[in-house]
């Protein structure tokens, strides 16, 4: 479907990742006239995607961001995508659910904030998503509240998963095959068609060329197109036109060097926790609270790498095949973390080894010759909101002539203590598994916060339904609305928020 620029469509959706794609499909399925604006291209994975990290770097958002604070965060391939499907095209497909207590951190610990919604508000959407995406996982799942069985058996354990299982067993820790949004068998979904089973390439972070991974381009975007959505790739949003009564009447975007203006009745901003607040700040919109850009969070994502006598060949198989949530709550820590086994591609491994250990010259070449014997464990740990961690506009312009985002990130006391605890746990697991040597990569992952949801318009940007407190027809739906980080990978929760926002929007407009 194609709509005219001067046709006031029901909704314009900005971004086609985990935030934009599910609601795009939902609104189109309800018969609404929707236009999706995506900054990047629409790829054909089977033809275009090479099994090559450098060649696939077109999947990453490369407009430069300035990274500051005491623990400056890396962007690009670490967490930021471009193109139809957004960052889900290069996510690892890890989709554990958050647990109910993740939403009530303030009540539980006296610090951070509670979400204005509960686990139970999202649970029906988790149920729906796991079926729609075709999640492969264990049934029953060993942690958290009871849930319906996953639709597919878990993916096979690769060597890093077997090693982590061995180490955890020796320490008396429980493990389980992890839930992954990659198919363990061929799978049919209405409106999407058949997708084939995962081949175990292990190149999830460089894009899946088979369609087994449930990135948004091969799932919700496909459904949205089948239901009549107007998808416009290579359209970069520059501005919003408003009328006198706090209402957006058109979205202005750039495509192939030209500016266009799409009239609309509602806007869903789903550009992620850097570009969403950046667009609002550039347009001085939806920020009466002064909270836009504030409370930027990134999970504690420490990795410990072990070298083993056995052959590991760590690029093979789904990278995160094993999980443990035994450390979801740890005595003496605020919040907790999950543990996952980790496979890795060689360029990513070499790059982070070099940055972290600073080994160089002959010693670097020797260490890399142990690549085939290397396995990782990664954590995802709670990160508390802090007003000082933030996204601002720099005075420096990027290649498009737009002010660059300047991101400030520093760890607080809770995150430092959690990271230290996790580091010791992972070292213990690797030593119990028989590692000959280990090294630690202290890092933070995922971009969260900056347009947080809440009931109090003075302290939040959107309400519990993702609807802007200030602008009558603006919704923000992506990782930027998270009030706290959740000790879990964010993609599944973003998708659940997206479907829920669409349902509330449809209920309100009917």
Partner 1 sequence: MARRLPTYPAGTVRALLGTRDVTPATRKVLEERLAAPPRERPEFFDAHAFATLRALCTRLLALDEDPIAVDVAGAIDERLAKGDGDGWRYASLPPDGECYVRALAALDATSTERHGRAFVELNHDEQMDVIERVRLGAEGWPFDSRRFFEEVLAESCERFYSHPLAYDEIGFAGFADAHGWQALGLGVLAPREPRSR
Helix (H, G, I), strand (E, B) or coil at 470: coil
> What does the per-residue mask of binding to partner 1 show for 169-208, with x meaning CB under 8 A?
-----------------------------xxxxxx-----
The CA angle 45-276-222, to the nearest 5 degrees, is 30
For the CB of residue 333, give the shortest distance to partner 1 in the complex, in Å. Answer: 30
Per CB under 8 A, does 68 bind partner 1? yes
For the CB of residue 60, give the shortest distance to partner 1 in the complex, in Å. Answer: 6
Which residue, 371 or 505, has its beta carbon nearer to partner 1? 371
Q: Which residues inside 96-155 make contact with partner 1, applying CB under 8 A?
A: none
Cβ neighbours for 234, distance < 8 A, ≥ 6 positions apart: 38, 39, 40, 41, 255, 256
Residue selected from 7, 120, 366, 456 as contacting partner 1 according to rule CB under 8 A: 366
For the CB of residue 275, give the shortest distance to partner 1 in the complex, in Å. Answer: 12
For the CB of residue 504, give the shortest distance to partner 1 in the complex, in Å. Answer: 33
Q: Where are any strands of DSSP class E within 190-229? A: 193-195
HEC profile of 352-409: HHHHHHCCCCHHHHHHHCCHHHEEEEEEEECCCCCCCCEEEEEEEECCCCCEEEEEEC
Residue selected from 60, 141, 220, 430 as contacting partner 1 according to rule CB under 8 A: 60
> What does the per-residue mask of binding to partner 1 show for 298-337, with x meaning CB under 8 A?
------------xxxx-xxx--------------------
Which residue, 310 or 455, has its beta carbon nearer to partner 1? 310
For the CB of residue 287, give the shortest distance to partner 1 in the complex, in Å. Answer: 23
For the CB of residue 213, give the shortest distance to partner 1 in the complex, in Å. Answer: 13
Per CB under 8 A, does 459 bind partner 1? no
Structure tokens at 352: 């982070």
Structure tokens at 52: 């090559």
Which residue, 125 or 308, has its beta carbon nearer to partner 1? 308
Give 323's DSSP letter. Answer: E
Which residue, 4 or 397, has its beta carbon nearer to partner 1? 397
Number of residues that bind partner 1 (CB under 8 A): 72
Q: Which residues inside 334-363 make contact with partner 1, applying CB under 8 A?
A: 345-347, 349-351, 353-355, 358, 360-362
Which residue, 47 or 331, has its beta carbon nearer to partner 1? 47
- Helices 491-509 and 20-29: crossing angle in degrees, nearest 10, is 30
CB 117 within 8 A of CB 91: no
Answer whether the bond into residue 418 is a cis peptide, omega within 30°: no
Which residue, 44 or 120, has its beta carbon nearer to partner 1? 44
d(CA 331, CA 308): 31
Per CB under 8 A, does 42 bind partner 1? no
Which residue, 202 or 490, has its beta carbon nearer to partner 1? 202
Which residue, 438 or 468, has its beta carbon nearer to partner 1? 438
Cβ neighbours for 505, distance < 8 A, ≥ 6 positions apart: 11, 23, 27, 266, 465, 467, 475
Per CB under 8 A, does 393 bind partner 1? no
d(CA 474, CA 479): 16
Give 414's DSSP letter. Answer: H
Give 95's DSSP letter. Answer: -
Residue selected from 71, 101, 162, 470 as contacting partner 1 according to rule CB under 8 A: 162
Phi, psi of 267 (to 5 degrees): -130, 130
Q: How many CB atoms lie within 10 A of CB 56?
A: 22
Q: Which residues inside 463-492 make contact with partner 1, applying CB under 8 A?
A: none
CB 478 within 8 A of CB 270: yes
Give 13's DSSP letter. Answer: E
Q: Which residues inside 402-431 make contact with partner 1, applying CB under 8 A?
A: 406
Per CB under 8 A, does 456 bind partner 1? no
- Give the ranges where 400-472 is alpha helix by DSSP (H): 413-433
For the CB of residue 321, give the shortest distance to partner 1 in the complex, in Å. Answer: 9
Which residue, 310 or 456, has its beta carbon nearer to partner 1? 310
CB 214 within 8 A of CB 182: yes
Residue selected from 75, 115, 126, 268 as contacting partner 1 according to rule CB under 8 A: 75
Which residue, 436 or 458, has its beta carbon nearer to partner 1? 436
Which residue, 82 or 495, has its beta carbon nearer to partner 1? 82
């Amino acid at each position: 479907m194609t709509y005219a620029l001067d046709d006031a469509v029901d909704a314009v959706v900005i971004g086609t990742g985990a935030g934009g794609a599910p609601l795009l499909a939902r609104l189109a399925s309800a018969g609404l006239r929707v236009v999706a604006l995506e900054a990047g291209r629409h790829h054909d994975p089977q033809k275009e995607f090479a099994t090559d990290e450098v060649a696939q770097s077109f999947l990453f958002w490369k407009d430069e961001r300035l990274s500051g604070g005491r623990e400056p965060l890396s962007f690009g391939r670490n967490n930021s995508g471009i193109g139809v499907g957004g960052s889900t095209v290069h996510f690892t497909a890890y989709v554990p659910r958050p647990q109910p207590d993740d939403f009530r951190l303030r009540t539980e610990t006296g610090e951070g904030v509670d979400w204005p919604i509960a686990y139970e508000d999202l649970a029906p959407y988790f149920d729906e998503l796991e079926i729609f995406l075709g999640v492969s996982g264990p049934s029953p799942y060993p942690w958290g509240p009871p849930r319906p069985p996953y639709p597919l058996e878990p993916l096979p354990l690769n060597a890093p998963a077997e090693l982590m299982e061995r180490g955890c067993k020796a320490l008396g820790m429980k493990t389980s095959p992890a839930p992954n949004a990659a198919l363990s068998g061929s799978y049919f979904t209405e409106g999407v068609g058949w997708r084939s089973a995962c081949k175990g390439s292990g190149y999830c972070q460089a894009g899946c060329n088979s369609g087994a991974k449930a990135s948004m381009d091969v799932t919700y975007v496909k459904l949205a197109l089948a239901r009549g959505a107007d998808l416009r790739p290579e359209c970069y949003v520059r501005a919003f036109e408003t009328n006198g009564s706090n209402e957006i009447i058109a979205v202005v975007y750039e495509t192939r060097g030209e500016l266009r203006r799409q009239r609309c009745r509602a806007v869903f901003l789903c550009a992620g926790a850097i570009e969403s607040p950046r667009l609002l700040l550039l347009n001085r919109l939806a920020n009466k609270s002064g909270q836009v850009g504030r409370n930027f969070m990134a999970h504690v994502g420490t990795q410990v790498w072990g070298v083993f006598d056995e052959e590991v060949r760590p690029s093979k198989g789904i990278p995160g095949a094993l999980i443990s949530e035994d450390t979801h709550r740890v005595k003496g820590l605020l919040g907790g973390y999950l543990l996952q086994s980790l496979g890795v591609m060689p360029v990513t491994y070499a790059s982070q080894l070099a940055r972290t250990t600073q080994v160089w010259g002959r010693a670097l070449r020797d260490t890399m010759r142990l690549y085939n014997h290397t396995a990782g464990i990664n954590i995802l740990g709670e990160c508390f909101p802090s007003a000082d961690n933030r996204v601002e506009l720099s005075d420096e312009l990027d290649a498009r002539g737009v002010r660059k985002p300047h991101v400030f990130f520093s760890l607080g006391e809770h995150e430092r203590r959690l990271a230290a605890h996790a580091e010791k746990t992972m070292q213990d697991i690797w030593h119990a598994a028989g590692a000959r040597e280990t090294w630690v990569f202290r890092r933070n992952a995922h971009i969260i916060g900056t347009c947080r949801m809440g009931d109090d318009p003075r302290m939040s940007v959107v309400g519990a339904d993702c609807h802007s407190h200030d602008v009558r027809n603006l919704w923000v739906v992506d990782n930027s609305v998270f009030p706290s980080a959740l000790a879990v990978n964010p993609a599944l929760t973003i998708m659940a928020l997206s479907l829920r926002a669409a349902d509330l929007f449809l209920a309100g407009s009917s």
